[in-house]
Chain A
Amino acid sequence: MAIEVRIPAPLQRLFGGAKTVPGEGRTVGELFDFLEARYAGIKERLTTKKGELQPFVSIYLNDEDIRFLEELETPLCDGDVVYIMPAVAGG
């Protein structure tokens, strides 16, 4: 599955400065494994040690937050666009 992954500024240095990278995977979880194999260190920014989505990052599949889909089990199709978005939050 040819997926387009959009990288936000804070994470671009993990991707050699790229704003967009191609990805593969039948699910979001597989996509993250694919990315980790090529860009070491990204997976720990996205998932916890328990294998859940990190609380302060949102992943969008096209227009939808995967927390409202099937989280890391969310299936992917050719041509999907995945956005990685760190939270804008504080106190």
Chain B
Amino acid sequence: MGEMVSHAQEEAPNECCGILAGVGGRVTRLYRAANAEKSPVRYNIAPEELLQIYRDIEGNGWDIIAIYHSHAHTEAYPSASDVELAFWPDALYLIVSLKGHQPLLRAFRIVEGQVVEEEVKTVADEVEQQASP
């Protein structure tokens, strides 16, 4: 979680983004990605970078477990764009918000336009344990 928050703070006011890979629900690696939109309201991983990340994940026998991005000024909840562009329904969508006094991370499943929040504690613990190589 610390890594995602740091990434968010470094990229603010633009949104940051990245991918968490793993297997069996356990995170094995966090991939920081560049936000090709360089925008405070949109994020997009450039196709060439996404292919590189995906190939590395695939080569290690992992899956994309989660996709994270930040909201510098809005709450940690999927925006209309987030819901519209959630093309990886098997992945958790993690959102880091820098809106409040403390950074806040929340996790969601977004499937066919439906948003369901998931427990963050487990995800945060997993990431903390696994993010350091």
B116 CB to closest chain A CB, in angstroms? Answer: 16
The residue from A6, A63, A65, A87 contacting B44, defined by CB atoms under 8 A apart? A87
Is the CB–CB distance between B85 and A58 below 8 Å? no
Number of A-B contacts (CB under 8 A): 76
**Cβ proximity bits A36-60 to B, threshold 8 Å, 1 near / 0 not:** 0000000000000000000011101
Would B44 and A89 count as touching, CB distance under 8 A? yes
- Cβ of A9: which chain B residues have Cβ within 8 Å of it? 63-64, 88, 90-91
Chain A nearest CB, measured from B110 CB (Å): 9
- Say yes or no: A87-B87 contact (C-beta < 8 A), given A8-B54, A9-B64, A58-B50: yes
- How many of chain A's residues have a CB under 8 angstroms from any CB in B? 19
Does B98 lie at the interface of the complex (its beta carbon under 8 Å from any beta carbon of A)? no
- In the complex, chain B residues 9-53 whose Cβ is within 8 Å of any chain A Cβ: 15, 17, 19, 33, 37, 41-45, 47-48, 50-51
